[in-house]
Amino acid sequence: MCTTCGCGVGDTRVDGKALPDAGGQSAEGPSAESSSAESSSDGDPPGSNQASPKGAGNNPAASYRALAADGRARPTAHGFAHSHRHGETHTHAGGAPAEKAGTSTGHARLVQVEEDILSANNAFAAANRRHFAEHGIFALNLVSSPGSGKTTLLCRTIEALRATLPIAVIEGDQQTSRDAERIRASGVRAVQINTGKGCHLDAHMVGHACDDLQPDEDSLLLIENVGNLVCPAAFDLGEAHKVVILSVTEGDDKPLKYPAMFHAASLMLLNKVDLLPYVDFNVELAVDYARRVNPALQVVALSATSGEGFAAWLDWLQTASRQQQAGKRATIAALQQRISELEAQLAQHARS
C-alpha cells in the first residue's frame, strides 16, 4: 500500500471484509505469485467446479471466503476464485527476459521486458470477461464524477427492469456502504467495495466482489465505479462497456477537460436534463466535445429523477443484455454440435 499519496490497496474492503493482496504489493499484480509454490500447486483453471476451497491455510482466496461476514456458504464454482491462480496466465513476453548483447560496466546488463504496465489487471479483467460471457452476464462499468446521479440512476433502472431481468450491483466507494444499502433497499443484491484510499476499482476487486455476489445466469451486472472522472478510465474490469454519466450541472466542457474517460466509454448518459432550464449547459456542444474525443460514442439524454428519456436507456440495456445472452447460447450450441460430431466419430472408430 502506498502511504505517500494514499492511492493504495491495503485498505480495500468488499462488504467490510479485507481483500487479499492480489500479489506482491499491487492490486493489479497476480504476477507476483506466478512462481510461488502455493499458487502453482492449486492449479485448477478458473471456471472449474471446485466445491470447497482446498489448502485453505495458505490460499489467500480461501481465507478471504472464510471471513464472509454473514456466514453464507460460498461455492467457488463461478470461477472467480481466480486471483491466486492467475500466475499461469501471466507470462513475460517471450518467457524469460531476453538479454541484450551489449552490457555496460561490471556486472550490469540490460534486460528487455516489453510488458504492458496494466498486464496484470488485464489478466484479471480477461478472466472476469470470460466468466461473464460463459454465464450470459451483461456487465457495465458506470463511471462519472461524484454527484452525477449514478446511484439514483441505478435505483430507477432497477425499479424498471427487475421484473424482467435479474440484476446484481457492485458499488465502489472510498468509504461507507450507503450506496449498497440504497441498492439493496430497491430489492436486488448488492456488494459494496470500499477502496479505502484508492481512487478506482480494479479487475481483481471486482472478481472477488463477484465471488460474493454470484450474479445470476443471464443477468445484468451494474458496477458503479468510484466517483472520479480520471483514474477509472485506465482500468478494465472485464465489463462489456464503460458507461460515462455526465450531469448537466457539471458543465458542458467536461469531455474536453477529462478526455480519457469519454474516450474509454461506449455510451454517455447525459443526466439531470430536467434541470436544463436552470443551468447554463449546451447539450449540443457537450455532445460535440464528447465526440471529438470519441467519434463512436453513443449518447442518451435523460433524467433519473423525472424519468424523461429513460426509455431509450432501458431499450439500450435490454437489447445489449439479450445480445450477451444470445452469445452464450450460440457458444453452447456450437459446443454441443462439436460434441455430437465427436461422438459420431468415436462411434465410427468403435465399429471399425
Partner 1 sequence: MHEMSLAMSVIDIVENAARAGNFRRVSTVWLEIGQLSAVEPEAMRFCFAAAARGTLADGAQLQIIEVNGRGLCFNCGETVPLAALYDPCPACGGYPVQATGGTEMRVKELEVE
Helix (H) or strand (E) holding 300: strand 298-301
Q: Which of 113, 163, 335, 350 binds partner 1 (CB under 8 A)?
A: 113
Q: Which three cell numbers stand for residue 301?
A: 439524454
CB of 17 to partner 1, least distance (A): 21
Q: Which of 52, 56, 99, 178 binds partner 1 (CB under 8 A)?
A: 99
Identify the bridge partners of residue 241 per DSSP, sorted by sequence position: 140
Residue ranges in 284-323 that form contacts with partner 1 under rule CB under 8 A: 288-289, 291-296
Q: How far apart are CA 261 and CA 102, in angstroms?
A: 41
Which residue number, 78 or 90, has a Cβ lying nearer to partner 1?
A: 90
CA 91 to chain centroid, in Å, comes to 22
Which residue number, 294 or 324, has a Cβ lying nearer to partner 1?
A: 294
Q: Which of 27, 205, 287, 302 binds partner 1 (CB under 8 A)?
A: 27
C-beta of residue 228 within 8 angstroms of C-beta of residue 200: yes
- Is there binding between residue 28 and partner 1 (CB under 8 A)? yes
- Is there binding between residue 102 and partner 1 (CB under 8 A)? no
How crowded is residue 242: how many other Cβ atoms within 10 Å of its Cβ?
24
Find the part of the chain contacting partner 1 (CB under 8 A) among 26-34, 69-77, 270-278, 341-349: 26-34
Find the part of the chain contacting partner 1 (CB under 8 A) among 105-113, 147-155, 210-218, 344-352: 105-113
CB of 13 to partner 1, least distance (A): 17
Number of C-alpha atoms within 13 angstroms, CB side, residue 72? 8
Q: How far apart are CA 141 and CA 160, in angstroms?
A: 19
> Mask: binding to partner 1, 192-231, rule CB under 8 A, as x and -?
------xxx-x---------------------------xx
Backbone angles phi, psi at 17, to 5 degrees: -100, 145
Instruction: For residue 44, give every residue at least 6 positions away whose Cβ sits within 8 Å of its Cβ, in sequence order, or none.
Output: 50, 85
How crowded is residue 1: how many other Cβ atoms within 10 Å of its Cβ?
17
Residues within the interface to partner 1 (CB under 8 A): 2, 4-9, 23-29, 31-32, 34-35, 90, 92, 95-97, 99-100, 104, 106-121, 198-200, 202, 230-231, 233-235, 255-256, 259-260, 263, 288-289, 291-296
